[in-house]
Structure 1
Amino acid sequence: MKKLILTVISSLFCTALFAQANAHFTTSGKIEYEKRVNMYAVIKKRLGNDDNGFASQAFDNYKKNQPQFKTLKSTLTFTNNKTSFTPAPVETVSNNWFGDMPESHQDNIIYTDFDTQVSTSSKKVFEEQFLVKDTVRKINWKITDETREIAGYTCRRANALIMDSIYVVAFYSDEIPVSGGPESFTGLPGMILGLALPHDNITWFATSVTDVTVPEAQLTIPKKGKATTYKGLETTLKKVMKDWGTWGQSYLKIFLL
């Protein structure tokens, strides 16, 4: 019996080593993301108790002429523990006020070096461009046992709270052992392929992952904009928006994501 037990253990150990040796990990490639914003929910929440006849009529007209969800595309290129997040150009430009809300945009270009833990972001705030260089944001993730498949990869769920009030749900895959993700969401033991801000009605989900060798020179490093740090940008925006009430708080949150 003892010999049989040792044989079984040895077999299981060899099987595990074989599986590990043959496991495929994507360390370089491109990820296509789709950002979806529930504009009806965002606008309704933004109007809140400030709703009046004019705003209500404008919202009704928006719903008659615009889809509930706005969709935006982006690409995350990664190699050598570095990532570059770049939004795709928008094909059509909104000609109404609701469609021009910050939530409906995707302007940030973000380069992250996980070896140095430094991130460089080009952020557009209304008509001004900022170049934010700072350490990578620290997020206190809580990993769960829930899993789901995204773009052909098995992903595990993690939850977090950022900026004191923004609840974040992420799905990451350790088959892509790079601690990156869309926008500035990072810090998990694998690539984030799905991300949701449930209370803010915004999601990012990978639609495809291309496993291909990417020369590091192809990663976009932002260079244009007024140089600042994350704290410097926060101070500037708070000063500008101090009299904007709840609208200013909402804008501040979006611009600092």
Structure 2
Amino acid sequence: MKTKIITTIAFLVLCSSMLFAQNEHFTVHGTIEFEKNINMFAMIQKQITPENEAFFTPILESYKKTQPQFKKVKSTLSFTDNKTLYRPIVPTETNDMFFSDMAMSGQPNIIYTDLDTKTTATQKTVYEELFMVRDTARKISWKITDETREIAGFTCRRANALVLDSIYVVAFYAIKIPVSGGPESFSGLPGMILGVALPHENVSWFATKVTEMLPEPKAMVMPKKGKVVTGKELTETLKQLMKNWGPWANAQKKALLL
């Protein structure tokens, strides 16, 4: 009798688990709104060296008096059929006239990613020139942790990685959005990336809203304008462009290659 009771309970638990799994909801298409936060005070401070401090320190102090510490810009990520399109939202107005040419503080990319073929098409603005970077999606060696965080109504798990050999990345992905994409060129986790922080670069991207609605066809159109190059060719172009820029070049190159 006791064995029958245990068997019955086990069967009921199994059925309940299966029913719960069947009713569990996953988001497979929609649009995510992101906010990029840039700590401008810290970012500018890093560009000051003993050689230029007499010039830049007064400018930074003036900036602090007239501008907020954190610059905020917005973007969207539309996704459907295992394809994503990341697009910045152009601000209607800005009071940030200082250091507007710092690449990390802007949003130079429109990125179309095909997660099935693992390819990307990136329309990238490099100062006055427009490039179309066609390449394979960046391979990132993520290390998944047990830490979790709530972002835009989704429970997300943390993962860490290095990109471009030296940029430390903290990302948070949602398993209930089973699309291996994310903002900018960050992807490759078992769920949509809803948060990215580059602690040493003083910048982050976090989702503020997820709308589960099939994107309009025009929202998924791959960018086509720009000089066609590969990622390697763009890297060489930036090296040549910035070869005489001194310490300023490293931060600019990293931002433009993300």
Q: Which TM-score bucket, shorter chain as reference?
A: over 0.9
Matches within 5 A, 1:47-196: 47-93=48-94, 96-196=97-197
CA distance in 2, matches of 1:126, 1:142: 34
The alignment status of 1:221 with 2:219, answered yes or no, reads no
- Aligned equivalents of 1:86, 1:96: Cα separation in 2: 23
**CA contact under 8 A between 2:108 and 2:256: conserved in structure 1?**
no
- How far apart, CA to CA, are the structure 1 residues paired with 2:96 and 2:160? 36
Distance 2:128 2:96 in 1: 16
Secondary structure of the residue that 1:181 maps to in structure 2? coil
Q: In 2, distance between residues paired with 1:110 and 1:171?
A: 20
Distance 2:99 2:216 in 1: 40
Percent of paired sites with the same residue: 54
Question: How many Å apart are 1:97 and its aligned residue?
Answer: 3.8
1:211 counterpart residue number: 212
The structural deviation recorded for 1:94 is: 5.3
- What RMSD, in angstroms, separates the aligned Cα atoms of the two structures? 1.4
Contact in 2 for aligned 1:80/1:216 (Cα 8 Å): no
Alpha-carbon offset, residue 150 of structure 1: 0.5
Structure 1 unaligned blocks of 5 or more: none
Classify 1:14/1:253 alpha carbon distance in 2 versus 1 (closer, same or farther; 3 Å). Answer: same
Alpha-carbon distance in 2 for matches of 1:137, 1:167? 15
Taking structure 1 as the reference length, the TM-score comes to: 0.96
**Counterpart residue type for residue 123 of structure 2:** S
Paired residues for 1:36-51 under 5 Å = 36-51=37-52
The residue type paired with residue 87 of structure 2 is: T
Does the C-alpha gap of structure 1 residues 7 and 95 become closer, same or farther in structure 2, counting only changes over 3 Å? closer
Residue ranges of structure 2 left out of the alignment (5+ in a row):
none
TM-score (ref. length: structure 2): 0.95
8 Å CA contact 2:152, 2:209 repeated in 1: yes
| Aligned structure 1 segments of 4 or more residues deviating by more than 4 angstroms | none
- Secondary structure of 2:156's match? strand
Q: 2:240, 2:95 → 1: CA distance? A: 28
Match of 1:33 in 2: 34
1:217 Cα deviation from its structure 2 partner: 4.7
